[in-house]
Amino acid sequence: MEATCTVGGLRWGEEEEEELPRYVDVLLGGATAMLPAFAYDVLHVGDEGLGLLRAAPALGAALVALFLAFFPLSRNVGPKMLWAVAVFGLATLSFALSESFPISLVMLAVLGGADQVSVFVRGTLVQLNTPDEMRGRVSSISGLAISASNELGEMQSGLAAGLFGAVWAVALGGIGAIVVTAAWAVLFPELRRAKTFAPQYRHAPKKEGLAP
């Protein structure tokens, strides 16, 4: 029964294209994994600077989360999610090319804030557009996939840094996030057309293998 439920969650979860941009940004935009290299070799700010660099994305995410708590998104949520992922990629690219410590801090804060918008919209869309009997299974699969993509993204960044250097590894990741997000907007028009968080089930789940 547990295996059947897991397979059912995978079948439904793989059709949720709202998840895809989030996987792309963490897989390709691995700036945080390269922060020690930037702190010591690019920006030359030492341990104290590295601590600030590590804190900047979290600060940006916290400020955006606080803003969304009082002024939640309600219109054009799909396009806003896509734009947020594109901003994430652009901020990643800008951070990679920056040689100024203050600018780098700002770009990391923007990166964290954009990621928070993406997480907010994606999580809400998935929760509201997944049938009640599938919501727990899809949420667990989503959490597992995001955790794995974080680790894979850091591995990708490390491999790319070994081949091209830390700056180009992060820059190429930012460019990749922008390009893939643009492709997602074309390939999945449902995301562009998602105006509100109102549930819009595109089709009913198959009964086979999806019994609670």
Q: Which single residue is written with the structure tokens 């951070």?
A: 95
Which residue, 41, 34, 40, is CA-closest to 160? 34
pLDDT tens profile 75-112:
888 888 889 989 999 999 999 999 999 999 999 999 99
Arithmetic mean of pLDDT over the chain? 79
Assign residue 76 a region (left: φ > 0; alpha: ψ between -120 and 50; beta: otherwise): left
Distance CA 24, CA 2 (A): 29
Q: Is the pLDDT of residue 125 over 70?
A: yes
How much is the pLDDT for 91?
A: 94
* Overall pTM > 0.85: no
Distance CA 99, CA 204 (A): 52
| Residue bearing the bigger pLDDT, 203 or 39 | 39
How much is the pLDDT for 161?
A: 84
* Axis-axis angle for helices 135-164, 20-28 (nearest 10): 30
pLDDT tens profile 162-199:
888 889 989 988 898 888 888 888 887 777 777 777 66
